[in-house]
Chain A
Amino acid sequence: MSLQEELQGPPPAKLVVEHVSKWFQQKRQTVHALDDVSLEVAEGEFIVIVGPSGCGKSTLLDIIAGLEKPDKGRVMADNQPVLHPGRHRLVMFQESALFPWLNAFGNVMFGLKLKPGLRNSERREVAKFFLHLVGLKKFMQANVHELSGGMKQRVALARALAPNPRVLLMDEPFAALDAMTREQLYGDIQRIWEKRRKTIIFVTHNVREAACLADRVVIMSPTPGRIREVFEVSLPRPRDFNSIEIAEHASKLTAALKEYGAHAAATGS
Chain B
Amino acid sequence: MRRTLLAILFFVALVAIWSALVRANIWSPILLPAPGQVAQYLAHAFQDGTLLTAAGVTLRRLLMGYAIGLTIGLPLGLLTASSKFVEDTIGVMALGLQTLPSVCWVPLALLWFGQTEGAMLFVVIMGTVWSVVIATDTGVRTIPPIYARAARTMGSKPLHKWIYVILPASLPFLVSGMKQGWAFAWRSLMAAEIYVTILTGFGLGHLLHYGRELNAMDQVIGIMLVIIFIGLLADKTLFSPWERFLHRRWGTGRT
Residues of A within 8 A of B (CB): 65-67, 85-87, 89-91, 93, 95, 97, 99-103, 110-111, 114-115, 143-146, 159, 163
Do residues A65 and B153 form an inter-chain contact, with CB atoms below 8 A? yes
**Chain A residues in 8 Å Cβ range of B160:** 114
The secondary-structure label for the interface of chain B is helix
- The answer to the question of B59 belonging to the interface, with a C-beta cut-off of 8 Å to chain A, is no
Contacts of A65 in B (CB 8 A): 153
8 Å CB contact of A90 from B147, B153, B156, B248: B153
Closest residue of chain A to B245, judged by CB?
A101
When C-beta atoms are compared, the residue in chain B nearest to A110 turns out to be B154
Task: Give CA–CA (A114, B248) in the complex, Å.
Answer: 26
B150 touches A97 (CB 8 A): yes
Tell me the residues in window 129-147 of chain B with beta carbons closer than 8 Å to chain A beta carbons.
146-147
B250–A100 contact, CB under 8 A? yes
Known: A95-B146, A99-B168, A101-B169. A67 touches B250 (CB 8 A): no
> CA A91 – CA B165 in complex, angstroms?
17
Whether A143 contacts B251 in the complex (CB less than 8 A), given A114-B155, A114-B156, comes out as: yes
- Interface contact A91-B153, CB-CB below 8 Å: yes
Q: Is the interface of A mostly helix, strand, loop or mixed?
A: loop
Q: Is the CB of A101 within 8 A of B250?
A: yes
- A95 — which chain B residues lie within 8 A by C-beta? 146
The 6 closest A-B pairs by CB, nearest first: A145-B251, A111-B154, A97-B150, A101-B168, A114-B155, A85-B153
| Contact with A67, one of B153, B155, B171 (Cβ below 8 angstroms) | B153
Asked whether any CB of chain A lies closer than 8 Å to the CB of B22, the reply is no
Contact across chains for B149 and A93 when beta carbons are under 8 A apart: yes
Please give, as numbers and ranges, the residues of chain B lying within 8 Å of A146 by CB-CB distance: 251
Q: Judge if B63 is at the interface, Cβ distance under 8 Å.
A: no
| New contact pairs (5) apart from A86-B155, A87-B154, CB-CB < 8 Å | A87-B153, A100-B169, A100-B250, A111-B155, A163-B155
Q: Is the CB of B165 within 8 A of A99?
A: yes
A67 to B152, CA, bound (A): 8
Interface readout for B153-190 with A: 1 if CB under 8 Å, 0 if not?
11110001000110011010000000000000000000
List the interface of chain B (C-beta within 8 A of A): 146-147, 149-156, 160, 164-165, 168-169, 171, 248-251
Contact residues in A for B250 (Cβ distance below 8 Å): 100-101, 143, 145
CA distance A66 to B149 in the complex (A): 10
Contact of A91 (CB < 8 Å), options: B150, B155, B156, B168: B150
List 20 A–B pairs whose Cβ atoms lie within 8 Å, in order of A's numbering.
A65-B153, A67-B152, A85-B155, A86-B153, A87-B154, A91-B150, A91-B153, A93-B149, A95-B146, A97-B150, A99-B165, A99-B168, A100-B249, A100-B250, A103-B249, A114-B155, A144-B251, A145-B251, A146-B251, A163-B154
A115 to B154, CA, bound (A): 8
B153 contact set on A, CB distance < 8 A: 65-67, 85-87, 89-91
How far does the alpha carbon of A6 sit from the alpha carbon of B122 in the complex, in Å? 56
Are the C-beta atoms of B149 and A101 separated by less than 8 Å? no
For residue A120, give the distance in angstroms from its CB to the closest CB of chain B. 15
Bound-state Cα–Cα, A135 to B151, Å: 24
Alpha-carbon distance A86/B155, docked complex (angstroms):
6
Q: Whole-angstrom distance from the CB of A87 to the nearest CB of chain B?
A: 5
Closest chain-A Cβ to B152's Cβ sits at a distance in Å of 5
Nearest Cβ distance between residue A105 and chain B, in whole angstroms? 13
Residues of chain A within 8 A of B154, CB atoms compared: 87, 90, 110-111, 114, 159, 163
For the complex, give the distance between the alpha carbons of A181 and B253 in Å: 29
CA–CA, A111 to B250, complex, Å?
20
A97 and B169 in contact (CB under 8 A), knowing A85-B153, A163-B154?
A: no
List A contacts of B147 (CB < 8 A): 97, 99
The interface residues of chain A lying within 8 Å CB-to-CB of B168 are 99, 101-102
- A169's closest neighbor in chain B, by CB? B153
Q: State which of B150, B155, B165, B248 has its C-beta within 8 Å of the C-beta of A143.
A: B248
Cα A250 to Cα B168 in complex, Å, equals 44
Minimum Cβ distance to chain B for residue A152 (Å)? 12
Contact A87 to B251, CB < 8 A, known contacts A67-B149, A97-B150, A114-B160: no
- Bound: A190/B92 CA distance, A: 54
Chain B residue nearest to A99 (CB atoms) is B147
